[in-house]
């Protein structure tokens, strides 16, 4: 695959991923407002119920992951990735049209839950498919660097969502945001989704999938699922453990903490979101460097550093958040953002490298969504519940430390895969890697 095609593939996949996670992320930044709109009669627990609706999407993520992953290994990565972004855009746009609880009563939260379920099905196939696509389209020597742009897209989507919500809140005020302003970010998902679909229709299928034998693609879904669970058991369990650490910390840092600052510590909502946006912009700048570092020193050392960072820095970071000043709050967020950048800059390449081509999409989807469903999506809800019931403002830090410990054990066991060919694929180099005289595969 020539350099221009690789760049176009990475750009289209990452930008499509940004659209997808903009859709998924804006819910978390509007969680406080949505709690008031859809759960007004809950005795001050609207945020908890709002996070419950957030977690509902993760209940069906394993189902979406299995179905879309098996289809992705059978009919191709490109078709499924186009379908996921279309599903997400329709569901997110629909949330912007749901009347409030004051207008239609109990049907309002029911419709919200339904839309979140569709979002969950879509998300079940998105990240695993996108990381599989980029990894299979990248040369071995630079897979970590190029795959890191997937998370560059993810964080860009979160930044777009958080930036829009911050700007609207500052311009309209809390009262107007609760009346109708919250709908604007959701309604924008419609045109953004169409852009994402157009981008993904323009890219070609991955060379690795095209080399898969037709007989292998046509095997029954039951047979393929059994092989993933039985034959790929070790890779599946290790991937689940790594994703557990990745997702618990990711949703706590990027989704829960803005609401923790405003809903628990009493910060101004706009101030909380603005500090989060600054943190994510710093993460964006660092992600490609982390991907390049993972190519140079290996996946395991970088992932181990992320896990150790959470074990050592979580409590000091939460202390800084509670200190009260804007500079200390930003410092705490940046500490956690650094740890998360080490994670997200490495896993888009490390996870696909655990599975062979014939089971890569389905294996990754199953592992990613089991961990995301049980631990990642529930993390904001659990953290909020622990803070409320124990009164201990450091419980989110302890949660991040536990996740880091699980991840560290998994990293200790997993094998190094940096700069090695993907399982089931021949060595792949790009034009820029072929200066030593080797030919570029056609």
Three-state SS for 261-275 is HHHHCCCCHHHHHHH
Output the pLDDT for position 52.
83
Overall size of the chain counted in residues: 442
What would the mean pLDDT of 335-362 be, rounded to a whole number?
91
Closest CA to 92 of 201, 194, 198, 173: 194
CATH topology for the 3-204+231-418 domain = Growth Hormone; Chain: A; (1.20.1250)
Q: CA geometry: angle at 58 spanning 177 and 46, to 5°?
A: 35
The two three-digit tokens of residue 389, written as one number: 């019931």
- How far apart are the C-alpha atoms of 313 and 326, rounded to whole Å? 19
What would the mean pLDDT of 52-61 be, rounded to a whole number?
81
69-84 pLDDT tens trace: 888 888 888 889 888 8
What would the mean pLDDT of 212-231 be, rounded to a whole number?
72
Output the pLDDT for position 441.
34
- What is the pLDDT confidence band of residue 428, given thresholds at 50, 70 and 90? low
Which range has the top average pLDDT, 6-10, 83-87, 297-301, 359-363? Answer: 297-301
The two three-digit tokens of residue 256, written as one number: 């829960």
What would the mean pLDDT of 396-409 be, rounded to a whole number?
96
- How far apart are the C-alpha atoms of 327 and 394, rounded to whole Å? 19
The pTM assigned to this predicted structure is 0.81
- How far apart are the C-alpha atoms of 393 and 204, rounded to whole Å? 49
Which of the residue ranges 51-55, 145-149, 215-219, 337-341 would you say has the lowest mean pLDDT? 215-219
Residue with tokens 């098996």: 70
- What is the pLDDT confidence band of residue 271, given thresholds at 50, 70 and 90? confident
Task: Assess whether pLDDT exceeds 90 at residue 277.
Answer: no
- Return the sign of the alpha-carbon dihedral for residues 270, 276, 278, 281: negative
186-204 pLDDT tens trace: 999 889 888 888 888 888 8
Contact 85, 425 (CB under 8 A): no
Q: In the chain, what percentage of residues exceed pLDDT 70?
A: 92
* Strand residue runs (E) in 334-431: none
What would the mean pLDDT of 294-322 be, rounded to a whole number?
95
The helix (H) or strand (E) run that includes residue 393 is none
- Distance set, CA 345 to CA 92, 146, 349, 351 (Å): 27, 10, 8, 12
Output the pLDDT for position 304.
97
Output the pLDDT for position 2.
67
SS (H, E, C) 293-325: HHHHHCHHHHHHHHHHHHHHHHHHHHHHHHCCC
Output the pLDDT for position 323.
81
Output the pLDDT for position 160.
87
Q: In the chain, what percentage of residues exceed pLDDT 90?
A: 35
Task: Assess whether pLDDT exceeds 70 at residue 264.
Answer: yes
- How far apart are the C-alpha atoms of 136 and 81, rounded to whole Å? 14
- How far apart are the C-alpha atoms of 290 and 150, rounded to whole Å? 13
The helix (H) or strand (E) run that includes residue 98 is none
- Return the sign of the alpha-carbon dihedral for residues 45, 155, 397, 394: negative
- Return the sign of the alpha-carbon dihedral for residues 220, 75, 18, 242: positive
What would the mean pLDDT of 279-283 be, rounded to a whole number?
91
Contact 154, 344 (CB under 8 A): yes
Output the pLDDT for position 430.
57
- How far apart are the C-alpha atoms of 379 and 225, rounded to whole Å? 28
Give 33: exposed, middle or buried? Use CB within 10 Å, 0-12, 13-18, 19+: buried
The two three-digit tokens of residue 237, written as one number: 């369990």
346 φ, ψ (degrees, to nearest 5): -115, -40
Q: In the predicted model, what is the mean pLDDT of the chain?
A: 85
Give 358: exposed, middle or buried? Use CB within 10 Å, 0-12, 13-18, 19+: buried
441 φ, ψ (degrees, to nearest 5): -60, 145
97-109 pLDDT tens trace: 999 999 999 999 9
Output the pLDDT for position 327.
85
Q: How is the chain split into domains, by residue range?
A: 3-204+231-418
Reduced to 3 states, what is the DSSP secondary structure of residue 416?
Answer: coil
Task: Assess whether pLDDT exceeds 90 at residue 128.
Answer: no
Contact 362, 132 (CB under 8 A): no
The helix (H) or strand (E) run that includes residue 330 is helix 326-344
DSSP category for residue 415 = P
């Amino acid at each position: 695959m020539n350099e221009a095609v690789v760049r176009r593939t990475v750009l289209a996949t990452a930008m499509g991923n940004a659209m997808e996670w903009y859709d998924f992320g804006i819910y978390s930044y509007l969680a406080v407002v949505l709690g008031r709109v859809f759960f007004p009669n809950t005795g001050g627990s609207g945020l908890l119920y709002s996070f419950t609706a957030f977690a509902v999407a993760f209940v069906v993520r394993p189902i979406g992951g299995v179905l879309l992953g098996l289809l992705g290994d059978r009919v191709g990565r490109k078709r499924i990735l186009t379908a996921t972004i279309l599903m997400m855009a329709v569901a997110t746009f629909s949330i912007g049209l749901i009347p409030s609880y004051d207008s239609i009563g109990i049907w309002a939260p029911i419709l919200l839950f339904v839309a979140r379920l569709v979002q969950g099905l879509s998300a079940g196939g998105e990240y695993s498919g996108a990381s599989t696509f980029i990894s299979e389209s990248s040369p071995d020597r630079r897979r970590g660097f190029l795959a890191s742009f997937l998370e560059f897209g993810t964080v860009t989507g979160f930044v777009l969502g958080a930036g829009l919500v911050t700007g609207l809140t500052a311009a309209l005020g809390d009262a107007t945001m609760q009346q109708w302003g919250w709908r604007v970010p959701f309604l924008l998902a419609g045109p953004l989704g169409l852009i994402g679909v157009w981008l993904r229709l323009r890219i070609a299928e991955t060379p690795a999938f095209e080399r898969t034998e037709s007989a292998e693609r046509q095997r029954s879904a039951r047979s393929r699922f059994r092989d993933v669970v039985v034959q790929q058991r070790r890779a599946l369990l290790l991937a689940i453990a790594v994703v557990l650490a990745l997702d618990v910390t990711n949703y706590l840092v990027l989704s829960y903490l803005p609401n923790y600052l405003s809903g628990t510590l009493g910060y101004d909502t706009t101030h909380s979101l603005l500090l989060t946006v600054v943190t994510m912009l710093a993460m964006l700048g660092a992600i490609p460097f982390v991907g390049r570092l993972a190519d140079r020193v290996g996946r395991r050392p970088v992932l181990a550093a992320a896990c150790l960072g959470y074990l050592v820095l979580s409590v000091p970071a939460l202390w800084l958040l509670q200190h009260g000043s804007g500079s200390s709050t930003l410092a705490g967020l940046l500490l956690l953002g650094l740890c998360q950048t080490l994670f997200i800059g490495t896993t888009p390449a490390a996870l696909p490298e655990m599975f062979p081509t014939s089971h890569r999409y389905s294996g990754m989807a199953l592992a990613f969504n089991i961990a995301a469903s049980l631990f990642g999506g529930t993390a904001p809800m659990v953290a909020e519940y622990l803070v409320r019931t124990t009164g201990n403002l450091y419980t989110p830090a302890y949660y991040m430390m536990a996740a880091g410990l699980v991840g560290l054990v998994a990293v200790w066991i997993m094998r190094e895969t940096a700069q090695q060919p993907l399982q089931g694929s021949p060595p792949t180099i790009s034009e820029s890697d072929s200066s030593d005289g080797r030919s570029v595969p056609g």
